[in-house]
């Protein structure tokens, strides 16, 4: 099947080249004729065909800057750790903020990590964001070995340890069970790198709950051997990963599209109409979405079959029989990590209840460190992208992370502001070379500010001392942040 699909794409490349040339031709874009009805139809038809026959390559994240405190701050995308099957990418901000780190686990469900661009973008102003940028196994030589569920969890554990203590682990869609297992592995070892918060969005933690009909058929009526025969392909000889067994990206795309054919047809028809009207802004929104949606990545066959078996067919997590490297996972060991689950009311892939089940699987997390949120009116992708994610869900997640951060992490910004105010007060008092040493210890330790070398006016000195006292008090606070009383929300349910 893979060879047939790839052959079809190759055969259509001359058509793609012709239609692309037509779209860009000076003839169809000539000011004198480009607004004629026949020309607009021709140009719109050419673009539709070009997009249908295109080979969609890996898209860029396209996150070059973010807004922090009203100022545009450049972003540098950097690979900080490279593994055989994944790169750990850090979006480094060109400023001095020392915000809490977040590891965003991108789905391994056929799309590149760039599909989560909107998710990443919302957290850049407030957090040091890392993401798992999974590689296309089609391009990984078979000699590098297989990549299974245990390897996936091992990567997450290694990434969290690389990032260090005080991090947040956030996952959307298919990786949620693996993310939960990784948090449990670190908790069982009481590892300092265990996340302070675990955010699970629209993931199949317990897919038995409100199970979709298509999934019930695939898991209950199709044997693992038949499922493997129907879904696993071999990479063609022209790629570096030749002969590697994979779950091909084009199969996943076909599956996604088949779930809601009328919607996709409607969107493409609207795109055609926007091209005819000359509504370029609306047309560009369509292009950006489907450029990312249509760029597919192959997954290793072992990871796909492991996930189908452990998560969807035998339900290892909710049954308490999940294993990692031969050892049974104890999710009850998770006690120090706060847990937030987010679901979409109209999610067809992970219906409400499947992600919320994580709260029952982790019984020893204190109630004040839990939150379940159900967003009304959104489907699967609306849980981690789109307007409701930006306006409602992302702010709630940020507030949850901040509430459950350790005092050292939670007070950094407040203490920094206080120190700036102290420095300003000293300058205003005209104290020559007044030295205020920066607090260095992250947990309840701070160096005392050095006394000014020259005498200052009594009034200014008293004011400076008062401000410094406030800064020190906020920096050394070790008392647990009290759990805020959860406000009643129409679409929020208790864990």
Cα–Cα distance, 135 to 297 (Å, whole number): 8
- Check if the beta carbon of residue 211 is closer than 8 Å to that of residue 347: no
In a structure prediction context, what are the per-residue pLDDT tens digits for the chain, which is 495 residues long?
887 877 778 888 899 899 988 888 877 777 777 778 888 899 899 999 999 999 888 888 989 999 998 899 999 999 999 999 999 999 999 876 778 999 999 988 788 888 899 999 999 999 999 999 999 999 999 999 999 999 999 999 999 999 999 999 999 999 999 999 999 999 999 999 999 999 999 999 999 999 877 677 666 777 888 888 888 999 998 999 999 999 987 888 877 787 778 888 999 999 999 998 888 899 999 988 888 888 889 999 999 999 999 999 999 999 999 999 999 999 999 999 999 999 999 998 899 999 999 999 999 999 999 999 999 999 998 999 989 999 999 999 999 999 999 875 554 444 344 344 444 544 444 444 333 333 333 443 333 334 433 333 344 444 444 443 444 344 433 333 333 343 344 444 433
pLDDT at 486: 39
Asked whether 196 and 167 are in contact (CB, 8 A), the reply is yes
Sheet holding 245-247, edge to edge: 232-234, 245-247, 299-300
* Distance in angstroms between the alpha carbons of the first and the last residue of the chain: 44
Q: Find where tokens 């490349």 sit.
A: 13
- Give the pLDDT score at 33: 77
pTM: 0.76
Q: What is the pLDDT of residue 131?
A: 97
Q: How far is CA 242 from CA 1, 137, 149, 300, 420, in A?
A: 14, 10, 22, 12, 59
Distance CA 210, CA 213 (A): 9
What is residue 218's predicted lDDT score, i.e. its pLDDT? 66
Output helix, strand, coil percentages for the chain, rounded to the nearest 5: 45, 15, 40
CA distance linking residue 485 with residue 86, whole number of Å? 40
**Strands across the sheet containing 338-344:** 65-68, 71-82, 86-93, 128-134, 101-105, 168-172, 197-201, 338-344, 370-375
């Amino acid at each position: 099947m893979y060879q047939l699909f790839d052959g079809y794409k190759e055969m259509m490349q001359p058509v793609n080249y012709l239609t692309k040339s037509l779209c860009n031709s000076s003839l169809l874009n000539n000011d004198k004729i480009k607004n004629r009805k026949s020309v607009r139809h021709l140009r719109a038809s050419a673009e539709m065909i070009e997009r249908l026959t295109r080979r969609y390559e890996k898209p860029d994240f396209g996150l070059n800057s973010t807004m922090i405190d009203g100022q545009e701050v450049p972003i540098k995308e950097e690979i900080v750790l490279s593994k055989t099957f994944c790169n750990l990418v850090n979006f480094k901000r060109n400023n001095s903020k020392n915000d809490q780190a977040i590891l965003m686990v991108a789905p391994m469900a056929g799309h590149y990590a760039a599909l989560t661009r909107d998710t990443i973008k919302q957290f850049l102003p407030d957090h040091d964001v890392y993401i798992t940028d999974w590689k296309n196994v089609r391009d990984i030589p078979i000699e590098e070995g297989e990549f299974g569920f245990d390897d996936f969890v091992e990567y997450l554990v290694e990434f969290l340890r690389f990032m260090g203590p005080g991090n947040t682990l956030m996952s959307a869609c298919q990786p949620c069970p693996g993310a939960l297992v990784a948090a449990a592995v670190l908790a069982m070892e009481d590892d300092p790198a265990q996340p302070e918060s675990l955010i699970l969005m629209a993931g199949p933690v317990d897919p038995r709950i409100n199970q979709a009909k298509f999934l019930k058929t695939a898991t209950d009526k199709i044997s693992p051997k038949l499922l493997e025969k129907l879904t696993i392909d071999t990479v063609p000889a022209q790629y570096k990963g030749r002969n590697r067994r994979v779950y091909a990206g084009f199969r996943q795309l076909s599956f996604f599209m088949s779930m809601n054919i009328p919607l996709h047809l409607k969107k493409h028809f609207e795109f055609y109409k926007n091209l005819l009207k000359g509504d370029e802004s609306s047309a560009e929104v369509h292009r950006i979405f489907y450029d990312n949606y249509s760029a597919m990545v192959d997954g290793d066959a072992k990871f796909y079959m492991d996930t189908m078996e452990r998560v969807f067919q035998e339900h290892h997590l909710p049954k308490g029989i999940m294993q990692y490297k031969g050892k049974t996972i104890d999710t009850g060991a998770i006690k120090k990590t706060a847990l937030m689950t987010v679901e979409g009311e109209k999610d067809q892939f992970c219906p409400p209840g499947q992600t919320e089940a994580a709260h029952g699987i982790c019984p020893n997390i204190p109630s004040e460190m839990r939150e379940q949120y159900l967003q009304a009116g959104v489907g699967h992708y609306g849980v981690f992208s789109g307007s409701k994610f930006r306006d409602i869900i992302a702010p709630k997640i940020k507030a949850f992370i901040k509430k459950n951060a350790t005092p050292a992490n939670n007070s950094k910004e407040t203490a920094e502001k206080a120190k700036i105010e102290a420095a300003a007060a000293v300058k205003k008092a005209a104290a020559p070379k007044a030295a205020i040493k920066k607090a260095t210890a992250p947990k309840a330790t701070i160096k005392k500010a050095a006394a000014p070398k020259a005498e200052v006016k009594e009034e200014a000195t008293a004011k400076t001392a008062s401000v410094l006292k406030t800064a020190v008090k906020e920096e050394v606070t070790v008392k647990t942040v009290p759990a805020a009383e959860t406000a009643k929300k129409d679409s929020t349910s208790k864990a």
